Amino acid sequence: MPAIDAAPYSFPFEPARAALLIIDMQRDFLEPGGFGAALGNEVGHLRGAIAPTRAVLTAARAAGVCVIHTREGHRPDLADLHPAKRRRGNHATTIGDAGPMGRILVRGEAGHAIIPELAPIEGEAVIDKPGKGAFYATDLAAILAARGISQLLIAGVTTEVCVHTTLREANDRGFDCLVMSDCTGSYFPEFHAAALAMVSAQGGIFGWVAPSAAVLAALA
Ligand code: TIU
C-alpha cells in the first residue's frame, strides 16, 4: 500500500493499523430542522462533503480498513447534557426541544441518525458522544486500542468544531491523523480553510491534510 500524498509531507499509511473515522455526519447537522439549523446555520454548506466521504467509505470497506462512525447527541433524559451546553447561544430552540426530525440532538430521534448515504453497516462501531471531541466520555480509545489502531483518516463535520476537537484529542493520545480536505466541511468556508491550514502548519503540528483523491489512490 503506497504512502498517501499529503501536506506537509507524505503520510506513511499502514492500512492494518488505520481507521477511517467519520465524525457526526448526522441529519441534525446536514439537514434543515436539526441542531445546526437551530444554531442559525445554513446546513447546505456541509453537503459537499457527502459524496467524497461516501467514495472513501466504499474504498475503505473494500480494502478491509477499519471504519468507525461518531454521533453527537444526548440521552433522552438529557442527564449527560451540561447546563452550559444547553444554555449556550440563548437560542429559542435548543438540544432536547422538539423539531421536524424529532427532539434535537437526542439519541434515537430521526435527526440524530447518520445520513442514509453514509449509514454504518454490520461490524462498524458507532460512537455516541456527548461532547465535541470523540474521546471525551466515550469508549473510542478502548476500541482503537483493542484493534491496534494508531492512524486515523478523518472525515466529517464540522471542520473547526468536532473534527478539530477530535483531531487534537487524538494527536495528544499519540495517533497519526490525516484530515481529508473535501470530506470535511464547515458552515463557514473561511473557518474550514483556516482549520485545515492549522493541521499541517509547523511541519504538521496536528497531522496531515490530503484530498480524498490521494486517499483513494492509496486504497486502490
Ligand atoms: N456547531 C458546529 O459547528 N458543530 C457542532 O456543534 N458539532 C459538530 O461539529 N459535530
Q: For 183-200, what is each residue's pLDDT tens digit? A: 999 999 999 999 999 999
Alpha-carbon gap, residue 156 to 61, rounded angstroms:
17
**pLDDT at 124 > cutoff 80:** yes
Q: How far is the CA of 161 from the centre of ligand 1 (A)?
A: 5
Instruction: Determine the Cα angle at 123 with ends 125 and 111, to 5°.
Output: 50
Grid cell locating 147:
484493534
Amino acid of residue 67: V
| CA neighbor of 74 nearest in space, from 124, 35, 100, 30 | 35
Q: Per the omega criterion (within 30 degrees of 0), is the bond before 158 cis?
A: yes
Grid cell locating 6:
499529503
pLDDT classification of 2: cutoffs 50, 70, 90:
confident
Are the CB atoms for 154 and 166 separated by under 8 Å? yes
The percent of residues in the chain predicted with pLDDT above 90, rounded, is 98
Q: How far is the CA of 29 from the centre of ligand 1 (A)?
A: 7
pLDDT digits (tens, 9 = 90+) for 126-159: 999 999 999 999 999 999 999 999 999 999 999 9
Top-tier CATH class for 3-219: alpha beta
pLDDT classification of 1: cutoffs 50, 70, 90:
low
- Give pLDDT, residue 78: 98
* CA atoms within a 13 Å half-sphere pointing along the CA-CB vector of 62: 10
Q: Per the omega criterion (within 30 degrees of 0), is the bond before 8 cis?
A: yes
Kindly report the backbone phi and psi dihedral angles of residue 161, in degrees, each rounded to the nearest multiple of 5, phi listed first.
-105, -90
Are the CB atoms for 61 and 206 separated by under 8 Å? no
Helical spans, DSSP H, in 48-105: 50-63, 83-87
**pLDDT at 82 > cutoff 70:** yes
pLDDT digits (tens, 9 = 90+) for 23-35: 999 999 999 999 9
> Is the distance from the beta carbon of residue 161 to the nearest atom of ligand 1 less than 6 Å?
yes
Q: Report yes or no on whether pTM surpasses 0.95.
A: yes
Alpha-carbon gap, residue 146 to 11, rounded angstroms:
23
- Considering only CA atoms, which residue is closest to atom 7 of ligand 1? 162
Atom of ligand 1 nearest to the CA of 23: 10
Are the CB atoms for 54 and 117 separated by under 8 Å? yes
Query: Based on the number of CB atoms within 10 Å of its own CB, is 42 exposed (0-12), middle (13-18) or buried (19 or more)?
Result: exposed
Mean pLDDT calculated for residue range 146-174: 98
Grid cell locating 109:
430521534
- Give pLDDT, residue 22: 99
Q: How far is the CA of 187 from the centre of ligand 1 (A)?
A: 9
Length of the chain: 220
Mean pLDDT calculated for residue range 48-66: 98
Mean pLDDT calculated for residue range 177-185: 99
Mean pLDDT calculated for residue range 99-128: 97
